[in-house]
Structures are given as C-alpha cells and as structure tokens.
Amino acid sequence: MKLGDIAKLVRGEVKGDPDIEISGVRPVETAAEGDITLFLKKKFLDHLKSSRASAVITAEAQAVDMAQVITSAPQLAFARVIAHFHPSPRPEPGIDSSARIGKNVKLGNQVHIGPYVVIGEGSEIGDGVALHPGVVIGDRCRIGNHATLHANVTVYSESVLGNHVILHSGVVIGADGFGYTIDEQGRHFKIPQLGHVVIEDHVEIGANSCVDRAAMGVTLIKEGTKIDNLVQVAHNCVVGEHSILVAQVGVAGSSTLGHHVVLAGQVGVADHIDIADMVTVGAKSGVLGHLPDARKTYGGTPAVPAISWRRYVAIFPRLPELFRKIREMENRLNKIEKQDSSG
C-alpha cells in the first residue's frame, strides 16, 4: 500500500514521497524497511531517529530522515492502519455437527456455530454472527448482526445483544442479580430476578466479566461502551454510551452512569449511585455518593474531586510528623496552663 493511500485512509498529509510502498506496521524499536510506525512523545525522538521504519505517523513534522504522515489524531490513525493490515479474522460460515440448536430458533445468513455450542428455544441469531466453541445461549435470546461470542461465553435466557457486539471468553450475561432478604428465621431468602439484560450496538466486554439480569425491568449497557476483563455490573444498572470500565471495576445494583464515563481499574461504585456524563474516576477509588458534576475527575475513597484528593495524598505521608507536633504543642500548652493556675 502506498504511503499516499495510507494518508487518505487516515485523513492525513504526507511529508516526503507518497509513492513509498508500505507493507507492515510495527513499533518504532522493531520497525524495518517497508514498515510504518507511530511517534507520540518528544522524549522518544532519539528512538525515532535510529528507527529503520520507512514512514512514521505523527501529530507534527519531526526532524527525521523518513517520510511522515501528519494527522491531528496519530494514535487513532495508527489504529486504523493496523486494522487495515491486520483485519480481525472471521470463521467460515457453517454449523458444527456437535452443536445443539433448540426448537423455533431463527438463524441469520452466514452464521458460524462452532463445536458444542448450545442455543435455547426461540432464540434469534442475526446475520454474520460467530459463536465460538462452548458458547451457551439460553431461551428466547436475541443476538444482533455480526456479533462475536468467543469460547465459553454464557448468555442467559431473554438477554438481548445488539449489532457488532463482542463478548470475550468466559463472559456471563444475564445471571441472577445478587438479591436477598432476611426471613423470620434469619436466613437469606432469594428475591426472584425477573428482568433481563440489554446490550446495545458496538459494545465490547472483556474476558470473565459479568452483567447481571435486573430484578425487574432491565440492566442496560448502552451503545459503544467498552468493558475490560473481570468487571461486575450488577442488576438494574445503566451504563451510558461510550463509557469505559477498566479491569476489576464493580458497579453495585441500580446505579446509573452517564455517557463517556471512565471508571479506572478497581473502582467500586455503591448501589443506587448516579454518575454524571463524562466523569472520570481514578483507580482504586470508592464512589459512595452521587457524582453530579459532568466532566469532572474524582479520586479516593470516598471519591472527591481530584484536586482535593491530590492535596489529601500529599498530606498523608506527613501525618505521623504532624501528629507528633500536635502532641508536643498540647503538652506545652498543658504546662503553661498549669503554671498559670499555680501562679
């Protein structure tokens, strides 16, 4: 592919020879002749200067002896080039002889159903869907067009997946929400979980993550949201459009996240919490109350605005010293008061 064509693909401009032939994509350290690479930070300029790459994608022209594609979003451009050279493989359409398909199931065109897949009664599978080995889909589910469910995904009954949804291995959609109450003998009495899960278009969910069915109504993951590995979304939650939930996040029941919310690794959100649009919560934070201010960044437990949290963190290492000084001041003050009272 010629460099000029790559520039058109990423809506960039070429500095240098647009007819250079590009055959691959690699990091700056390992790139060879024929490869295009990415440059983001000035501190790595020496690496770029010593690279053998034929071209580089960058936000602004660099003082290096190689062709360049200049674009305002170099990381996005690089991702698009990678996708062009390395498109996601799609398995061949067909139904493996070991698959088990229930009554009244509707299968779309060009569907791949791998070994030992189970599809429950009355479910609908859209066009171009790929169900990899060991996938289990319950009764009366709907799977949208071009969805991909990797090995050993489980989708409980009456769950709904939109178009172009990707579920990685071990994902569980629609298991019972964690709902119990105490009976007269002090035992945990299970509250029936009668709702379901809806996952909208272009959602991707990482390995071994779980989205629980609603107690009543729906647990909803809105369009374009990306969920990392080992994430728990509890019953009746709503996760807004294009949000990001990083590894080991836990969102308790009936919480609502706005659009473009980012929860960094190991964030915990208490139940019945509302988080405004475009809020970012730093890693390991605990959200114990509503975060109503859009576009803000929060951190700590309980989560507070990031500016305050940074001040707290700066003070923490000094607490023993400050405590010692306060005790010394208290002792001195006590001595002064005793002297005044005896005088």
- pLDDT at 110 exceeding the cut of 90: yes
**Within 10 A of 314 (CB to CB), how many other CB atoms are there?**
9
In the structure encoding, which two tokens stand for residue 101, read together? Answer: 């398909």
Q: What is the dihedral of CA 317, 318, 320, 321, to 10 degrees?
A: 150
CATH 2.160.10.10 residue window(s) in the chain: 94-307
- pLDDT at 61 exceeding the cut of 90: yes
Q: Residue 280: what are its φ and ψ, rounded to 5°? A: -115, 130
Helix, strand, or coil (residue 338): helix
* Span 71-108, pLDDT tens digits: 999 999 999 999 999 998 889 999 999 999 999 999 99
Active site residue 202: no
- pLDDT at 343 exceeding the cut of 80: no
| Choice among 112, 196, 235, 260 that is catalytic | 235
Q: How confident is the model at residue 167 (pLDDT cuts 50, 70, 90)?
A: very high
The domain defined by 3-85 folds into 3.40.1390
Please give the C-alpha separations between residue 49 and each of 45, 181, 322, in angstroms, as whole numbers.
6, 65, 50
Percent of the chain clearing pLDDT 70 (strictly above): 99
Return the CATH number of 94-307, one of 3.40.50.800, 2.160.10.10, 3.40.220.10, 3.40.630.10. 2.160.10.10
Please give the C-alpha separations between residue 143 and each of 105, 106, 155, 163, 292, in angstroms, as whole numbers.
11, 10, 10, 8, 34
